[in-house]
Structures are given as structure tokens and as C-alpha cells.
């Protein structure tokens, strides 16, 4: 049985296109569960035209808890996560199910995508040959190939949006058992699956991902100017975000995959100590402490060379301002 877990909030502008793209798949899904988070527009009325189950929240949960609720209500052996404003290509379900069923150790699969704007026009992105998945993933992956994602890749950030994911019931139940709102729902799913060596990326675009001003989460950097990106990056919150993410992920894995955590407990302990010290160095503007941290292999797990230079420049700038 195949389920779709969708969340909505004031999605009247695009919801019909998305629902119809799911219903017109070459391989049919068995149920579409929609959890609405208090829409005040015509989203609910539009959904009544389709064979979907709509659950309206009594109070606004926010997207992290709303996706949790949608997953809980899914009864399928396989669950696709779905946003309200994208468009699935006709073979998305068939292609991803084929991949999932042909790999017994695969519990989560992400596909690539095509950016579109609010008029369904494709948005072209400048390709970085050192990256993949529209430059979101930090490693190059050959087109149309399958790649197993390493757990350590997830320490700093998430690379695959929830709307790109297919997961099976085993990982869904495990994620729900250890659900945390400390990180995004897709980051949680992907990092737990990667710790079990069961997270894969299929570098083939199977849906259209819409960029518009009302995205609740998404690829913010891709629509920013260079100046806007630099201004946003030069804040303490952003400079410490990756280290906070890493600490949250390690704590989640300690509970969700205790065997893996125990096997790597000493290494994880050293990592945690480094990430704490890194946050403190940034908070306290310790230039030479940050400079010395560049000798640690753990720094490269959460930041690129360019980002490490920016840490130093951030501290220097803050010292001058003070």
C-alpha cells in the first residue's frame, strides 16, 4: 500500500495542480492524507473535489508537527511526503517505488527535482560541478545514478527536502518514536536513515519544486543576491547553526540508533566537545581559538574552507564594531 502525506496551509493557489499530478501518476497511490494547519482561504473547499482524506487541525501546529501528524495517519507500507505547491512528474511514484523495492537495505529515498516559479516556468540554476541536486548536496553525483548518503554528511545540514522523500513504514515508525522538533522533519528522517546506512539519493528529477515568496521552508539561498547572502551569513545565528545542528543530530542518533552510537561513542564524544567549543569561540569572538580549530578534522565536517574563513572574518568584524 502506498500513502502520500501532505500538509497544507492557505494553499489554494497551487493545491489543485499538485493533487492532480499525484492522481495522474503512472503507478497509482492508495491514499492521500492531507493535514491542514488552519487554512483561512479556499484550500479545504478545493480539496473536497478530490479523493483525499482531509484532517483539519484544531490549532496551528507548524510544519514540523503537522508533518508528524500526517505521517502518523498514513497506513501505507510506503509513504511519500508532499508539499502543497509542487508538481509531480507522471513517473515519480513508479520510478521511486522501483528503486525502493530493488534495494532491501533502502528505507529512505530522495529524488532530484526541477525548480519552477509561480507561473510554472523552469528556473535555471548555475551548476556547481562539485555539488549535485541543484547544488544542494555537497557531493557530485552522476546524473540518473543512485548514491548512498553517508551519515557524517548530515552533521551540518540537510540536503534533501521532505517533498523529495519516499520512506517505508519501518523508518516511519522509528522516526515517530524518536520525533524531535529540534531539527526539521526531513532532516530528522534523513539523518536517522543515514545512521542505518539506508538513506539514498536518486539523481534524477522527478518533480517540479516551486520557488515563491510564501515557501514555508526551502532553498532560500538560490533566490538571494550575493549581498543578501553575505549579510544573512554574517550573523551569530547563522555562523553557529551548523554546530547546533550537529549537536542535535548526535543527540537524536544516541536515542534512535543506540547500537551505532555505542560503536562510535568515543568519536561522537570528541565531536560534541568540538562543536560546543566552536559555538563558544564564535559567541565570545575568540579569533585565535577559531584559527586553532582549523587543525581539527571535525571543523571540515560542518563547514567548508570558505565558511571557515568567513568565521574568522566575522569575529574580526565584530571586534572592530565593538
Residue 125 pLDDT: 86
200 and 260 in a single domain? The answer is: no
218 and 232 in a single domain? The answer is: no
Q: Distance between CA atoms of 187 and 193, rounded to whole angstroms?
A: 10
pLDDT digits (tens, 9 = 90+) for 121-166: 999 888 899 999 999 999 999 999 999 999 999 999 999 999 999 9
Altogether, the residues listed in the chain come to a count of 322
Identify the three-state secondary structure at position 87.
strand
Return phi, psi of residue 267, to 5°.
-65, -45
What's the gap between Cα 270 and its chain centre? Answer: 26
Domain boundary (223, 242, 266) is at: 223
Nearest to residue 18, comparing CAs of 89, 73, 71, 67? 89
CB 15 within 8 A of CB 39: no
Residue 221 pLDDT: 41
170 and 271 in a single domain? The answer is: no
206 and 297 in a single domain? The answer is: no
CB 2 within 8 A of CB 78: yes
Domain boundary (223, 242, 269) is at: 223
Nearest to residue 291, comparing CAs of 311, 274, 306, 272? 311
Q: Distance between CA atoms of 289 and 292, rounded to whole angstroms?
A: 5
197 and 231 in a single domain? The answer is: no
pLDDT digits (tens, 9 = 90+) for 233-262: 679 999 999 999 999 999 999 999 999 999
13 and 88 in a single domain? The answer is: yes
Enumerate the β-bridge partners of residue 111. 202
CB 78 within 8 A of CB 165: no
**What total of structural domains would you count in the chain?**
2
215 and 173 in a single domain? The answer is: yes
Which range of residues forms the domain containing residue 101? 2-223
Q: Distance between CA atoms of 182 and 296, rounded to whole angstroms?
A: 26
pLDDT in tens, the chain (322 residues): 999 999 999 999 999 999 999 999 999 999 999 999 999 999 999 999 999 999 999 999 999 999 999 999 999 999 999 999 999 999 999 999 999 999 999 999 999 999 999 999 999 888 899 999 999 999 999 999 999 999 999 999 999 999 999 999 999 999 999 999 999 999 999 999 999 999 999 999 999 999 976 654 445 445 555 455 555 667 999 999 999 999 999 999 999 999 999 999 999 999 999 999 999 999 999 999 999 999 999 999 999 999 999 999 999 987 666 5
Amino acid at each position: 500500500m502506498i500513502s502520500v502525506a501532505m500538509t497544507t496551509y492557505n494553499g489554494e493557489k497551487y493545491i489543485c495542480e499538485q493533487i492532480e499530478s499525484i492522481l495522474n501518476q503512472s503507478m497509482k497511490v492508495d491514499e492521500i492524507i492531507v493535514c491542514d494547519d488552519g487554512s483561512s482561504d479556499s484550500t479545504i473547499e478545493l480539496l473536497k473535489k478530490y479523493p483525499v482524506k482531509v484532517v483539519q487541525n484544531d490549532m496551528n501546529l507548524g510544519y514540523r508537527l503537522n508533518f508528524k501528524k500526517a505521517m502518523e495517519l498514513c497506513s501505507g507500507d510506503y509513504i511519500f511526503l508532499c508539499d502543497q505547491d509542487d508538481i509531480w512528474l507522471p513517473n515519480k511514484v513508479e520510478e521511486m517505488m522501483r528503486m525502493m523495492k530493488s534495494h532491501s537495505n533502502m528505507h529512505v529515498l530522495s529524488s532530484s527535482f526541477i525548480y519552477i516559479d509561480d507561473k510554472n516556468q523552469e528556473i535555471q540554476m548555475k551548476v556547481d560541478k562539485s555539488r549535485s541536486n541543484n547544488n544542494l548536496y555537497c557531493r557530485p553525483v552522476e546524473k540518473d545514478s543512485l548514491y548512498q548518503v553517508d551519515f557524517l554528511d548530515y552533521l551540518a545540514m540537510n540536503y534533501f527536502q521532505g517533498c523529495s522523500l519516499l520512506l517505508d513504514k519501518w523508518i516511519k515508525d522509528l522516526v515517530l518514536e524518536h520525533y524531535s522538533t529540534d531539527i526539521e522533519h526531513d532532516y530528522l528522517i534523513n539523518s536517522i536513515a543515514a545512521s542505518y546506512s539506508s538513506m539514498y539519493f536518486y539523481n534524477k528529477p522527478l518533480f517540479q519544486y516551486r520557488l515563491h515568496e510564501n515557501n514555508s521552508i526551502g532553498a532560500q539561498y538560490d533566490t538571494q543576491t550575493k549581498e543578501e547572502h553575505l549579510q544573512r551569513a554574517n550573523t551569530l545565528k547563522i555562523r553557529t547553526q551548523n554546530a547546533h545542528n550537529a549537536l542535535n543530530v548526535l543527540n537524536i542518533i544516541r536515542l534512535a540508533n543506540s547500537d551505532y552510537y555505542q560503536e562510535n561513542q568515543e568519536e561522537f564524544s570528541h565531536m560534541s566537545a568540538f562543536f560546543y567549543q566552536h559555538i563558544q569561540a564564535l559567541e565570545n569572538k575568540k579569533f585565535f581559538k577559531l584559527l586553532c580549530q582549523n587543525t581539527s578534522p571535525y571543523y571540515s565536517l560542518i563547514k567548508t574552507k570558505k565558511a571557515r574563513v568567513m568565521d574568522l572574518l566575522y569575529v574580526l568584524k565584530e571586534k572592530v564594531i565593538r
